[in-house]
Structure formats: C-alpha cells, structure tokens
Amino acid sequence: MFFKLNKLTNIIKEPLFIRALFKGAAAGVEHRSVLIHLDDCNHVVDVGANRGQFALIARSCFSNARIDSFEPLIEPARIFEKVFADDSLTVLHQYAVGPDESEAIIHVSNRDDSSSLLPIGEGQVKLFPETAAKETRTVQVVPLKQVLAESEILFPALLKIDVQGYELSTLYGCSSLLHKFRYVYVECSFVELYMGQSLADEVIKFLFEHSFKLDGVYNIHYDKSGRAIQADLLFEVLDENTHLRN
C-alpha cells in the first residue's frame, strides 16, 4: 500500500504523467532514480512496453530521445498509442522480440503486464495471485534487427527489457545490435516464476560475454520470508571504444 501511495504521489507531480494516468497508464516512476544517473540517452529501446509505463519515465528523463517500444498485446498497445499520440519521437512496434522471426503463444495474465511467452508458473501465481493466466494467443516474434537497422540506433542508447521470464531469449534477439547500446536495463528473477525461464545469473553471464558489466541492482522484490525474488539490473559497457568497434 505504501508503495502505491508513494508512486501516485510522484505521478501527480508531472502533468505528462497525470494525462497518461487518465488514459490508463501509470508512469514507472520507480525507475527515475536509475535513469537520472545515466548520461543523456539519445535512444531508448523499450522491449515489453505494456501501456507505456517505462516509456513515460524515459520521456521525462530524456526529453529529446527517440523511443522505440515493443508490445505484442493489443489491449495495452492501444492504451500506449493513446498516451503517446502527440509524441512524434515515440514509436510502438506490435511485436515481441526473440531470436527468430516466428509466431509464438503468449500466456495472457489477468494482469496484462505479467503476460509472457513462457507458461506462468506456480511460483508466480503464489506470490502474485492476480497474475494467473486467463487465456493464450498467438503473437508475432521478430529479432530486433528486423525492425531497427544498426544505423538507426542513436548512441548513447539504452536497451530496456521487461518480458516476464523471456529475458535471455529476448537478448539473443538483440545480440547482433548489442554493441550499439551503452546500457542494458533488464528485470530478472532469482527464482523460477515462469516455466523454463532463465534466472539472473544466466542473464549476467550472457551480458558479461557481450562486454557489459553489472552496474546496479534496483527495485528488489522480496517474498514474505525476506527472500529476494526479482529485481531490475542495470548493465553498462565494459569498454565503450572496443564495444563500438564490434
């Protein structure tokens, strides 16, 4: 309850956020403390955009950045488009991002921001009962390079991933373009919430092998016993000059 009240208090401080709230999107103000410490990003690639929660806080922190958001579900995508109807620098792509172009089954949660290309596991439902699956649908999956050319990504760029257990597959779908990003910001789990998901250690290993170091851990969620369940992890390139030459 305190988190929700604190979030609402921060939302009503900005007219952009108030307007978005009336359209159905609550800005992800919990990410502000992360974004304000980054160099001014010219480009944000927002994978798992839902209704535009992250895109809103990104727009607030990076007023002139290009934002390319990805959301495969129709209902949150419609809200996103209403929220950003007057923002010419923000574009929504109605795809999921993965290793190959394909059609895939998405498991739609009662809370659409918890939907996933992986089956929703017992652990997720036990911790968050409102996120149980209600149906499945077919969505389009594409590698990032199929939507964005290398030359279109404006350095310094931030790649944000919030895909409910599908993080490693999404990163494989972005791998050919990772050298164009200075930062990667990804929600990771420490326990299995979605069936077959990769956990935080595997994501950290993958990004280290692609020249990123773990730079911070934010917004940690704990269960009732005090065990860490998931968190947002920020990565930054190890060596920017070498990174850009790859």
The structural domains of the chain, with segments of one domain joined by +, span: 2-222
Query: Running DSSP on this structure, what letter comes out for residue 118?
Result: S
Q: How many CB atoms lie within 10 A of CB 33?
A: 11
Q: What is the dihedral of CA 94, 96, 102, 108, to 10 degrees?
A: -100
Please report the DSSP string for 185-216 in residue order: EEEEESS--BTT---HHHHHHHHHHTTEEEEE
Residue bearing tokens 């009240």? 5
- What is the sign, positive or negative, of the torsion defined by CA atoms of 181, 183, 186, 189? positive
Measured distance CA(37)–CA(203) in Å, rounded: 23
Tell me which long-range contacts 204-209 makes (C-beta under 8 A, separation of at least 24): 204/233, 206/168, 206/171, 207/171, 207/235
- Three-class SS state of 121: coil
Measured distance CA(192)–CA(7) in Å, rounded: 27
**pLDDT score of 140:** 98
Q: Which residues are paired to 45 by β-bridges? A: 68, 159
Q: Which of 154, 199, 159, 202 minimizes the C-alpha distance to 178?
A: 159
Residue bearing tokens 């956990």? 199
Residue bearing tokens 């994978």? 47
The CATH superfamily of 2-222 is Vaccinia Virus protein VP39 (3.40.50.150)
- Three-class SS state of 48: coil
- What is the sign, positive or negative, of the torsion defined by CA atoms of 94, 97, 101, 107? negative
pTM above 0.85, yes or no: yes
User: What pLDDT tens digit does each residue of the chain (246 aa) get?
Assistant: 556 777 878 888 899 999 999 999 999 999 999 999 998 899 999 999 999 999 999 999 999 999 999 999 999 999 999 999 999 999 999 999 999 999 999 999 999 999 999 999 999 999 999 999 999 999 999 999 999 999 999 999 999 999 999 999 999 999 999 999 999 999 999 999 999 999 999 999 999 999 999 999 999 999 999 999 999 999 999 977 655 555
Measured distance CA(164)–CA(179) in Å, rounded: 24
